[in-house]
Amino acid sequence: MATLDVRRLRDEFREPHELVRTSDGAVLFLRHWVASGGSRSAILLLHGITAYSEPYGKLLAEDLARAGVDVFGLDLRGHGRSDGVRGDYPSGERLASDLGETVALLKDRFATVVVLGHSLGILSAAVAVRQRPDAIDGLVLLSGGRQVRPGAYAKPTARAALKALLGVALFPRRRLIEYRRTGMVGTDDPLFNFRYSARFFSAIYGMSPGSVLKMMRRNTIDSPNLKALGKRDIPVWLGIGDQDEVFAVDSARAFFDSLPFGRKEFVVLPGGRHTSCPPGTWTPLVAWLRDRFPTMPHGGAGTPGP
């Protein structure tokens, strides 16, 4: 596949967006879904593995913007329309800086900043909390759990397993690790990633590449970055679809119970899958936002409808 010209893609993008110019000179793409009627609150949406910000518009960002909150979707470095080597991250420290600088940009403009992490984006959200606990007012965690459903990922072939081992041991920067599961979306979208380096996973999980590989073999999610959650007692909302193909409701509940927050709410989303939800799904989330944050618009206007 030809190398993507992300600078051209940014220049040609005509929907609302902003650019985050990082302290090391990179440019990160920040998609903006503008709130109906203006807002003093912002949600920073952090995407899952393989993805980028734009597909989250139809999933939930457009509904939240209609409800009166500005939503900003960050393309992680090496994803979507952001700079960087596709499917790679220089280090965990650089990931933390990228997220912290993005949070700071939003906090300068909005009274309330809530970070929303979907799937692997939950780990990015944890890094953001660790980096800027003073600037984050709440967390929304979607489609995550401690234990992956049996069969969610096909058992790798011997050749694929060998490639992964080589990537961990010898070539941490090369994109030798292929990410595939049944029912994935974005396979026909060139802005999705399906190949990753070992050091990308190391940066996201906050572990050595070898430790990440051992964890993945157990089909469990156990990252030191998650231990950063709870350093500050902020409101947390965790949602899981009852049809999620990757994490069962019980697994999500176990993750929720482990979160060291006093103000937290667990919601099962009827009909929700890992990357799709039926109309009306986000009404409970909008109600929670309005209840918890006085800067959120109140009243019936803009509430997501069926």
Q: What is the pTM of this model?
A: 0.93
Residue 285: its pLDDT value, please? 97
Taking the chain (306 residues) in consecutive chunks of 10 residues, what is each chunk's mean pLDDT?
83 97 98 90 96 97 95 98 96 97 97 97 96 95 93 69 66 79 81 91 89 79 81 91 96 94 95 95 96 77 42
Task: List the one residue out of 44, 103, 53, 43 whose CA is nearest residue 77.
Answer: 53
Domain boundaries, the chain: 16-292
Residue 237: its pLDDT value, please? 98
Residue 301: its pLDDT value, please? 40
Task: Using alpha carbons only, give the angle 252, 269, 233 rounded to the nearest 5 degrees.
Answer: 55
SS (H, E, C) the chain: CCCCCHHHHHHHCCCCEEEEECCCCCEEEEEEECCCCCCCEEEEEECCCCCCCCCHHHHHHHHHHHCCCEEEEECCCCCCCCCCCCCCCCCHHHHHHHHHHHHHHHHCCCCEEEEEEECCHHHHHHHHHHHCCCCCCEEEEECCCCECCCCCCCCCCHHHHHHHHHHHHCCCCCCCEECCCCCCCCCCCCCCCCEECHHHHHHHHCCCHHHHHHHHHCCECCCHHHHHCCCCCCCEEEEEECCCCCCCHHHHHHHHHHCCCCCEEEEEECCCCCCCCCCCCCHHHHHHHHHHCCCCCCCCCCCCCC
Domain 16-292 falls in which CATH fold? Rossmann fold (3.40.50)
Residue 306: its pLDDT value, please? 35
For the stretch 3-22, pLDDT in tens is 789 999 999 999 999 999 99
